[in-house]
Chains A and B, each alone.
Chain A
Amino acid sequence: MKKLLGILLTSSLALTACSSGGDDDTTATAGAASCAPSSGPVTLSFTSWIPNIEEVVKVWNAKNPNIQVKVQTGPNGNGGTYQNFFNQLKAGNAPDLGQVEYDALPSFRVQDGLTNLAGCKPVTDAKDQFIDWTWNQVSFGEKDAVYGVPQDSGPMALFYRKDLFEKNNIPVPATWEEYAAAAVKVKAAGGSITNFSQSDINQFAGLAWQAGGHWFSNDGSKWTVNFQDEATTKVANYWQDLVSKKLVSTVPPWTTEWDSAYNKGQAWTWVSAVWGANSISSGAPDTAGKWAVAPMPQWTTGGKVAGNWGGSSTAVFKGSKHPYEASQFAIWLNTSEEALTLLNEKANLYPATKTGGSLAALSKGVDFYGGQKIYDIFAQAATEVTPDFTWGPTMTSTYATASDGFKAAVSGSGTLADALKKAQTSTIDNLKSQSIPVAE
């Protein structure tokens, strides 16, 4: 049956590919697309799965009668919306704008699904408003290339149970070495210092990112894949050690089991992104007032480097007839104070702009964290994220292989380093099978 399905799918694709091939060529241009304002009123379509995005767009529509934006929605990217984007690109009816996470942007880039906005004045004018590393996420470090407007970011820090650390006289770890030492003491006090995310590879990616790992790079023609550089190996061995010594728990993330480990005080810290503040407060409501946030532990004493976990961009798809207006909207959505405030209020997005961290909503003390102004820590972390981390074009399958390996390592067969090695091999195979050039 599967085979039949495959044949049916490919044959129908082949048919449409033939029929629609003609008009694709006319719109494809090398480098930055021309980006001139349209005359007359324009209607743009925008697909995003941000909860309550309609309410933000309503504000724009009220102010811009000539550029009306229509919102379409769906499940999150990997839940189906990315596949829909690819289908729509194939059918030639992709929306003008779409939400694409940083780690998915390269896959749209290699399939030639994005409009290069480097020629769009609204975008180039706004470049300086964005934190440098977020800009890097959408330009891939290429010159004259902007494949989306950074929307939100996930700078990382250390959430910890202030009350338990104080009660047990454990100093808040500032380095990873201290963190490992604290783990032993926490274990002695009957808890686990944290829960190692066995299936969500993004957390590990954020940790490797902080340590200076470079998983992918692209010299313009070929991709280099390396999950075994010195930094990544260091991080993998570090966590492998904690896992082997059973100093960390290994409950699957994003489950009620996991929430309850935090709620019952079994897990004492979480190295997570800014949006994690909300995960803890809603997953572990009984611990209100007992948490605090400190900067991410460092690899060198006195260092100031953070990792990033998550974040997305607003991209303009290939075939959009109004890239200028689309980029105007994207810039408003991701830089204006009113939009950023609404996005933060309605969907907990953390801005990717330099001034975003000082929004009124992000300058207040948070009761759940004992009144601490936790967002100050994240605003600082956002400026300390290593700038040149690049994602690859096949992250979905990379995550899948790596998470299989991580799960195995956690249950005692193999190590995290083995899992990364396997993930690298399979990623390279995957790239090759899609005829994406790989440097060996």
Chain B
Amino acid sequence: MKSKSAAMAIMGICTLYFLVPIWWLVVGATKSRSDFGNTAPLWFADVSLGQNLGELFRYRDGVFLRWMLNSVLYTGGAALLGTILAAMCGYALAKYRFPGREAIFNVVLGGVLVPATALALPLFLIFSQLNATNTFWSVFLPSLVNPFGVYLARIYATASVPEELLEAARLDGSGEVRTFFTVSTKLMFPALVTIFLFHFVAVWNNFLLPLIMLGNERLFPVTLGLYTWNSQVNQLPELRMLVLTGALVSIVPLVVAFLLLQRFWRSGLGSGAVK
């Protein structure tokens, strides 16, 4: 009993530790600029969230909404396509025997170890050669790659797609591609959700790539846009409230994605762990 309450206390402290900054953000974003500096930081003053939001959405012809849209395109698009690619790749590595299979898998596995940060500068130099920096594609294309997703997909495909089922599908005359999309992806679905979420968060958080690649404000993802504003706060102090409100709005898609998909995610993680 005693150890249980101790554990609860530790959990409670951890929860508090993680939630207080978000609480601070929620409270901060509802305040007017003068209240922000002069009232208790963790409790509400006069609520002017509506006004802050209005200002945020109107500032510079609504560039913030554009950034949100960009972020959704970069992350949502890249995560969706990237998940399909990773699933196909992992599935092929799991289910087909061909020369060099292990070598390819090992290279992919090695790729997991290379942080996205280390690749940003080489990518910039490559895209410079192609005259393709400062374009949508310079951020989107590199974001499609997800070696960890390939790894997860292979493990999961090995475990959850029985050979007998594939044999049966082949006997019934289904082509390999059709089998993959109609049979295998259904069996792999929990893993695909996991891969999607991991990928989504990874692209969302990959800050350095857009920072290095992009100079056109209309192409910025929301993270870079807010960072840019925040770096101008000394010059234009009124930006501070926009940054705060923008930060609050920008975490909404992440929260939504997690709430909607967490059921699948949990089962995906669990089954991967046991097998």
Contacts and interface: CB of A to CB of B under 8 A. Distances in A.
Contacts of A45: 215
B124 A347 contact: no
18 contacts: A8-B119, A9-B121, A49-B228, A75-B231, A80-B227, A84-B211, A90-B125, A91-B128, A93-B131, A95-B215, A256-B37, A256-B41, A264-B38, A279-B234, A279-B237, A282-B237, A285-B33, A285-B34
Interface stretch (B70-78, B110-118, B180-188, B195-203): B110-118
A5 B118 contact: yes
A90 B232 CA distance: 26
B212 interface: yes
A279 B115 CA distance: 39
The 9 closest A-B pairs by CB, nearest first: A72-B215, A91-B128, A282-B237, A79-B231, A76-B231, A75-B231, A12-B122, A285-B34, A259-B37
A16 B129 CA distance: 10
Interface string B237-273: 1110000000000000000000000000000000000
B237 A75 contact: no
B183 to A, nearest CB: 40
Interface in A260-294: 260, 263-264, 275, 278-279, 282-286
B121 A12 contact: yes
Contacts of B128: 88, 91-93
B125 to A, nearest CB: 5
Contact of B134 (A72, A284, A286): A72
Contacts of B238: 282
A129 interface: no
A24 B84 CA distance: 43
Contacts of B113: 1, 4
A75 B211 contact: yes
Contacts of B216: 72-73
Given A8-B114, A51-B236, A73-B228, A283 B37 contact: yes
B217 interface: yes
B236 A254 contact: no
Contacts of A12: 121-122, 125
Contact of B211 (A80, A93, A254, A259): A80
A87 B128 CA distance: 10
A254 B239 CA distance: 13
Interface in A43-82: 45, 47, 49-52, 72-76, 79-80
A286 B134 CA distance: 43
B133 interface: yes
A88 B232 CA distance: 22
Contacts of A264: 38
A8 B118 contact: yes
A282 B238 CA distance: 7
A263 B237 CA distance: 14
Interface of B: 33-34, 36-38, 41, 60, 113-115, 117-119, 121-122, 124-125, 128-129, 131, 133-134, 211-212, 214-217, 224, 227-228, 230-239
B231 A87 contact: no
Contacts of B235: 50-51, 275, 347-348
Given A52-B60, A259-B37, A263-B37, A74 B125 contact: no
A5 B118 CA distance: 6
Most buried by A among B115, B236, B238: B236
Given A79-B227, A256-B36, A285-B33, 7 more contacts: A8-B114, A83-B212, A88-B128, A91-B128, A256-B41, A275-B234, A282-B33
Given A5-B118, A9-B121, A12-B122, A74 B236 contact: no
Interface string A324-360: 0000000000000000000000011000000000000
A87 B212 CA distance: 8
Contacts of A254: 233-234
A12 B234 CA distance: 36
Contacts of B115: 1, 5
Contact of A87 (B121, B131, B214, B232): B121
Contacts of A75: 211, 224, 227-228, 230-232
Contacts of A90: 125
A58 to B, nearest CB: 13
Contacts of A73: 215-217, 228
A283 B237 contact: yes
B209 to A, nearest CB: 12
Nearest to A84: B212
B139 to A, nearest CB: 14
Interface string A200-211: 000000000000
Contacts of B33: 282, 285
Given A256-B37, A283-B37, A51 B232 contact: yes
Contacts of B133: 91, 93
A84 B216 CA distance: 13
Contacts of A72: 134, 215-217
A34 to B, nearest CB: 26
A84 to B, nearest CB: 6
Nearest to A253: B234
Contacts of A278: 236-237
A79 B224 CA distance: 11
B38 A9 contact: no
